[in-house]
Homo-oligomer: A and B are copies of this chain.
């Protein structure tokens, strides 16, 4: 995320360098959209391209819907399955579409920093939105999670206890959530998962880290469950799905350790029966579908801010 001038962003690449004021402003605008606010034709005539070097239909649909609601023209380029780039570099692919007159790019890439590298090459007036790069950043997911927390718990994060559970090590969602929670002054951030799935660098600075799920749940106001990728088994990082579920699966019984009005979040897609049971996923404390709805609102706010 670079800034041309104070309060004026060129791109949305991460949440680290977003000021608290900028984040608050984005969340307020997103809340207006979530409440049914319109921005008719704010992006009329503006072309936005989803440029996905790693597939993700749901995130693409969410951005697409957000762009359409603002009146943008939307193009989709699935570079992950396209055989047509024919050995072309990512940068040439990007520059080509940019040269067509596209002003907004929603980019996903498996490489850490790959979206920022493209943004560094962008022409003035062209904005990139990071839709997930490697394990590093997924800023709109972080923002939609914060919006979901605010809707349930109010704007004062200093009194909130939040726990992030699971494969934090490989999760860009967790990293963006951590940055956002810190920026908004979250009272207590707990992180819980098996040692093999916790990062060893300074990602978790200031967090209360634990491998004991039951203890980590005590009195929390919100649970952010992470998806367990099945490849973690092949990599030897997790014994089995059954073991993982026994130790870190969220059940109704476990959820009772949290505050009575605690909310449950998950970025999707859920592995039902692994990191979360049906009863919790579909239960009264689940905010999973609110997160999805907030995703469109947050992306509208981000697109409008950068391109409107």
Q: Which residues of B contact A295 (CB under 8 A)?
A: 100
Q: A240 within 8 Å of B by Cβ? A: no
- The reply to whether A96 and B64 form a contact with Cβ atoms under 8 Å apart is no
Q: Which 6 A-B pairs have the closest CB atoms?
A: A88-B269, A99-B292, A99-B289, A68-B73, A57-B84, A99-B293
Q: Which of A95, A268, A290 has the most CB of B within 10 A?
A: A268
A65 near B47 (CB under 8 angstroms)?
yes
Of B61, B89, B268, which contacts A77 at CB under 8 A? B61
Determine if A85 is an interface residue (Cβ-Cβ < 8 Å).
Answer: yes
13 A-B pairs (CB sep. < 8 Å): A47-B65, A47-B69, A49-B61, A55-B82, A57-B85, A64-B75, A65-B100, A86-B269, A88-B270, A92-B268, A99-B292, A100-B293, A101-B293
CB within 8 Å for A57 and B82 given contacts A89-B272, A292-B100, A293-B99 = yes
Query: Contact: A75 with B84, CB < 8 Å?
Result: no
Q: Which residues of A contact B (CB under 8 A)?
A: 45, 47, 49, 55-58, 61-62, 64-65, 68-69, 73, 75, 77, 82-89, 92-93, 95-97, 99-102, 230, 268-272, 289-290, 292-293, 295-296
Q: A100-B295, A270-B88, A271-B87 are in contact. Are A65 and B73 (CB under 8 A)?
A: yes
Residues of B with C-beta under 8 A to A49 = 61
How many copies of this chain are found per oligomer? 3
What residue of chain B has the Cβ atom nearest to residue A278's Cβ?
A: B89
Partner of A269, one of B85, B272, B289: B85
Distance between A115 CB and nearest chain B CB, rounded to angstroms: 18
In whole angstroms, what is the CA distance A88 to B227 when docked? Answer: 11
Chain B residues closer than 8 Å to A89, beta-carbon distance: 272
- In the complex, are the beta carbons of B95 and A83 less than 8 A apart? no
Residues of chain B lying within 8 A (CB to CB) of residue A88: 268-270
Chain B contacts for A87, CB-based, 8 A: 230, 269, 271
Query: Could you tell me the distance between the alpha carbons of A49 and B65 in the complex, rounded to whole angstroms?
Result: 10
Contact with A75, one of B61, B92, B97, B99 (Cβ below 8 angstroms):
B61
Find out whether the CB atom of B62 lies under 8 angstroms from the CB atom of A100. Answer: yes
